[in-house]
A and B are shown apart, each in its own frame.
Chain A
Amino acid sequence: MRRIPAAARWCALVALANALVWSLVTPPFHVPDETVHVAYLQHLAETGRIPNKPGATVFSAEEAGVLDALRFNAVVGSARDRTVSTEAQQRGVETAERAVRSRVSGGGTAESSSQPPLFYAYESIGYLASPWRGLLERVWLMRLMSALLCSATVLFTYLFLRELFTSEPWAWTVGALAVAFQPLFGFTASGITPDSLFFAASAALLWALARAFRHGLTPERGAVIGAALAVGVLTKLNFLPLLPGALLGIALLVWRERRRPALRRAMIGAAWACGIAATAAGVYVALNLLVWDRTAWGGGVGVAARTAAGTGSHAAAAVTFADQLSYTWQLYLPRLPFMSSEFFHYPGWETWYRGFIGEFGWLDTTFDLWVYRVSLVVTIPLVVLAAVALWRRRATLRERLPEILTYGTLVLGILVSIGVLGLRYRRSTGFEFEQARYILPFLPLYAAAVAAAAIGAGRRFARPVGALLVTLAAVHGLFAQLLVISRFYG
């Protein structure tokens, strides 16, 4: 800890405080899929087993009773309906909490049950250590544990920026605080969702790779890369698409040393990175096959999506490569004339931009449309300034091409995987799969863009612009919290 700059620790503390506020602002279970994540971890904590009973009840009697008392099904998706708003309803919630109901009657498969157990095991510590027995108290305690992961994400973001912007220490604070206040991040990662640990593991991976690119790959740095990969793989299967980028990075780090004495050290580092990740993956696969009676990877997101939709494991219609290419292209870029239309809207705006600016609850809480439009007044200059900074430093960028290539492959891995899963989900359910939170593993790159925008303002204005951007991020975060408060308690 002593090697971590004080400013990094303070940034992490800001993130923790902000996530703590989000954990109070968002009503229990109103973070996407929080209901099934709580079901998973309650089953794991109470029985020591992963929920894996197809056709059985997903929720324990206790969770089902609390969800009923909270009128969860009547409020979720209905932006004009509030959560508990009268004393009579509150008495109903208290009665449901006090009722002695089974905590082990769940265990059925849901969209979360194909996921690895690391995050749930981590949260189980909070569940089991809770001095309170009520589910709502435990939910809040587990959210607090998620808030700690938010601060870890911001800490790794700071450290990542330290490797990127070596001559502008002030930019590290700017980028890290911009992430700390980013509302979609605060809202999502303060909930009970494996995304919290997924984001932290991704940020750690980016930092570990950046550190190895800057200082060289050593056994110690390789082990850190391996540890980040292991945590990610054991947290959420959506992390798997990051593996090609990580492997490319490791290969480039070794290749870079091919004519230097450090080659042997780099190769040992690569072996550590790959070895730790492969061991974690191997243990997970073995446990799935030998102990948990699941498929090698536990099913995967595709199965999870079909479970959520209540369809069979092969319900998706056949997908051709051309379909896949067209869908994935249109998911991020404007449709080309020869492509058939895959969306009624432009996902670049509707899903990614608007989602990143703010869609909360189970996507049922949004700002008025004008807010998203006005936000462009900040976003467009920010992008232009970041581009200016990159142009000014094009010589440095050329020198760091292998590193940039690695980050590009990491991003591409996630983007393509979203397209692959999204098309299959759409074909089998008719619903959209994509959500802006799926790109949050790249928060450190967002932080880098914010820092670059400040630098792009030029030597004279860089720091004030950086301060202004952080202040705007804090304002953005506050209004997102007010939006959620008005939607659920107004």
Chain B
Amino acid sequence: MRVAAAVAAGTLLLLAALAVVLTDSKPRQSGSNHVLESGPVEKIAGDGVRCQRDTPLPADTDRVRILLGTNGRPTPSVEVTATSDGRRVLAGSLAAGRRQGHVVVPLTPVNRVDRTARVCVRIRGEGQTVLFGSHGLMRLEWLRPGSETWLDRLPTVARRFGYGKANAFGTWLLPIAGVVLLLAWLLAGRLLLRELRA
């Protein structure tokens, strides 16, 4: 009886912790250009623009996060545009006056399709602005609309979970893994109840 109570207590703890984690709402990433923020890649004095070609642009994007350094001054205004096959597919801007560091520029998506694009970041302001990245490329981190919980994200996570590995089950691979884990728990629970019986 006491063993069953202990298993039940542990299971309740698990469910409570799961509820907290899965319902935690935050801005989530739709993708990035896989560039590390290991150092400055461009120093723009006053106004200037930095463009990068062949940048992966996930379909489910409505903001981009970039790292700006301004030596402590307020950030300049930032405009971001993305063009693909000569057409503008994303555009947005952020007014000046933020604290230096990571800034999030809201974007207006034109066409929701995964693509690669030429992305330009235009800086309008005074003083020097530093863009960060590595190997001569600035880091661009794309964010999904709004704020989401992991429960909201489950279909996306399930789809991505199925990518990049041997998988005959598509988006069902994640639920299948969940079922296997559940079976392991049930088996362990049954073992505990049987073996630890007084």
Asked whether A93 is an interface residue with its Cβ less than 8 Å from the other chain, the reply is yes
Using a CB-CB cutoff of 8 Å, which residues 1-45 of chain B contact chain A?
2-3, 5-7, 9-11, 13-14, 17-18, 21, 28-32, 34-36
Contacts of A83 in B (CB 8 A): 160, 163-164
Known contacts A21-B180, A490-B29; A470/B192 CB under 8 A: yes
Contacts of B161 in A (CB 8 A): 24, 485, 489
Distance in Å from the Cβ of A172 to the closest Cβ of chain B? 8
Asked whether B173 is an interface residue with its Cβ less than 8 Å from the other chain, the reply is yes
Using a CB-CB cutoff of 8 Å, which residues 131-168 of chain A contact chain B?
132, 134, 136-137, 139-141
Asked whether B115 is an interface residue with its Cβ less than 8 Å from the other chain, the reply is yes
Asked whether B187 is an interface residue with its Cβ less than 8 Å from the other chain, the reply is yes
Closest chain A residue to B181 by CB distance?
A21
Q: Is the CB of A7 within 8 A of B195?
A: yes
Using a CB-CB cutoff of 8 Å, which residues 101-131 of chain B contact chain A?
114-116
Q: Is the CB of A177 within 8 A of B157?
A: no
Interchain CB contact (< 8 A) of B31 among A11, A82, A139, A474: A82
User: How many Å lie between the Cα of A468 and that of B5 in the bound state?
Assistant: 9
Q: Is the CB of A137 within 8 A of B58?
A: no
Asked whether A463 is an interface residue with its Cβ less than 8 Å from the other chain, the reply is yes
Contacts of B13 in A (CB 8 A): 471-472, 475
Distance in Å from the Cβ of B31 to the closest Cβ of chain A? 5
User: How many Å lie between the Cα of A83 and that of B34 in the bound state?
Assistant: 9
Known contacts A11-B191, A18-B184, A471-B6; A74/B34 CB under 8 A: yes
User: How many Å lie between the Cα of A81 and that of B142 in the bound state?
Assistant: 11
Q: Is the CB of A78 within 8 A of B34?
A: yes
Contacts of A226 in B (CB 8 A): none
Closest chain B residue to A466 by CB distance?
B196
Interchain CB contact (< 8 A) of B180 among A17, A139, A140, A472: A17
Known contacts A11-B191, A25-B177, A136-B166; A465/B6 CB under 8 A: yes
Interface of B is mostly: helix
Q: Is the CB of A173 within 8 A of B192?
A: yes
Asked whether B153 is an interface residue with its Cβ less than 8 Å from the other chain, the reply is yes
The interface bits of chain B over 66-88 (1 if a CB of A lies within 8 angstroms of the residue's CB, else 0) are 00000000000000000000000
Known contacts A468-B6, A489-B157, A490-B157; A89/B163 CB under 8 A: yes
User: How many Å lie between the Cα of A134 and that of B116 in the bound state?
Assistant: 27
Interchain CB contact (< 8 A) of B7 among A24, A93, A467: A467
Asked whether A363 is an interface residue with its Cβ less than 8 Å from the other chain, the reply is no
Q: Is the CB of A14 within 8 A of B14?
A: no
Distance in Å from the Cβ of B47 to the closest Cβ of chain A? 29
How large, as a class, is the contact surface on chain B?
Answer: 35 or more
Known contacts A81-B34, A136-B166, A464-B2; A474/B180 CB under 8 A: no
Interface of A is mostly: helix
Q: Is the CB of A132 within 8 A of B195?
A: no
Using a CB-CB cutoff of 8 Å, which residues 62-116 of chain A contact chain B?
70-71, 74-75, 77-78, 80-90, 93
Interface centre among B5, B17, B163, by most chain A C-beta atoms within 10 angstroms, is B163
Interchain CB contact (< 8 A) of B164 among A11, A81, A93: A93
User: How many Å lie between the Cα of A352 and that of B10 in the bound state?
Assistant: 26
Closest chain B residue to A181 by CB distance?
B188
Q: Is the CB of A89 within 8 A of B180?
A: no
Asked whether A39 is an interface residue with its Cβ less than 8 Å from the other chain, the reply is no
Q: Is the CB of A467 within 8 A of B10?
A: yes
Contacts of B153 in A (CB 8 A): 490
Closest chain B residue to A472 by CB distance?
B10
Q: Is the CB of B198 within 8 A of A463?
A: yes
User: How many Å lie between the Cα of A464 and that of B198 in the bound state?
Assistant: 10
Distance in Å from the Cβ of B46 to the closest Cβ of chain A? 30
Q: Is the CB of A82 within 8 A of B196?
A: no
User: How many Å lie between the Cα of A177 and that of B184 in the bound state?
Assistant: 10
| 25 A-B pairs whose Cβ atoms sit less than 8 Å apart in the complex | A17-B181, A18-B181, A21-B180, A24-B161, A28-B164, A78-B36, A84-B160, A85-B31, A85-B58, A86-B56, A136-B165, A137-B166, A170-B195, A177-B191, A464-B2, A464-B3, A464-B6, A467-B192, A471-B6, A471-B9, A475-B13, A481-B181, A482-B21, A489-B157, A490-B153
